[in-house]
Amino acid sequence: MNQARIPILMYHQIDVAPPKGTPLRGLVVSPRTFSRHMWMMHFLGYQGLSMGELMPYLRGERTGRVFGITFDDGYENNFHNALPVLRRLRFSATCYAVAARIGQSNIWDLDEGIGQVSLMNEAQLQAWIDAGQEIGSHTSNHLDLTVCAQQSLELEIGGSRRLLESFLRQPGGVQHFCYPYGRLNTDSLQCVAQAAYVSATTTRRGRVPVPVQDGALTLPRVLVSRSTTWVQLLLKCLTNYEDRRGVQG
């Protein structure tokens, strides 16, 4: 891998395929595919890391064959289907939970006609952490932050951090943030900085240039979908395939 750039993988659900025609079906990666992705990276000598463990590499303080692993929304199927693979390989990952929806479902998707899937409950989030994994914040209610008033911005960004830390009895333990829909503007960026998050990830495509410039609050990621084969994953991680797409928009 060109260590001047580090990929942060973005997964959503890890589960068997919902019926054809289901909206966002492409974001449901099968357990078998996920396992193959992780084992292939392991086989090539790369270690998958949570955002907390990846930060020294992104800052250029450490070097090594590493990549980031993130899961958006906090689905229960991450707990059942991804955690065993991560544990087996001694990889760590960050799961971005929606703080006011713990133990519920993705109700923010209801208006779009997207099926409801269980989110991890408090005990599962705790077990996720106990297994050496990390929880980050994906806001309180999964709102588009670019259309939020200032007061609700604070509740979504700083408030979600406080809520998760109190749930998890981990003061200061939630240090990483992910923008819902990858949407941000100057106000939301400023609010993320004020809430003292160490990193924040977007849906902009690309690998992170190292050392990371201008803080780490607008990090690009590498989307992994249902149809991403391990060969494509290697292309996305080891070449400038994704970086060029990020530039093109």
Q: Minimum Å distance from CB 209 to Zn ion? A: 25
Q: Minimum Å distance from CB 101 to Zn ion? A: 11
Phi and psi of 92, rounded to 5°? -120, 160
Closer Cβ to Zn ion, 106 or 124, answer by number: 106
Phi and psi of 170, rounded to 5°? -135, 75
Closer Cβ to Zn ion, 83 or 143, answer by number: 143
Q: Which residues bind Zn ion (CB under 5 A)?
A: 72-73, 180
Distance of CA 130 to the CA centre of its chain: 18
What is the number of the residue whose Cβ is closest to Zn ion?
72
Closer Cβ to Zn ion, 48 or 180, answer by number: 180
Q: Minimum Å distance from CB 181 to Zn ion? A: 7
What is the amino acid identity at position 135?
I
Q: Of 88, 44, 85, 83, which is closest to residue 66 (Cα–Cα)?
A: 44
Which structure tokens are listed for 11?
């997964």
Q: Minimum Å distance from CB 8 to Zn ion? A: 15
Measured between alpha carbons, how far is 240 from 179 in angstroms, rounded to an integer? 24
Phi and psi of 13, rounded to 5°? -95, 150
Closer Cβ to Zn ion, 203 or 240, answer by number: 203
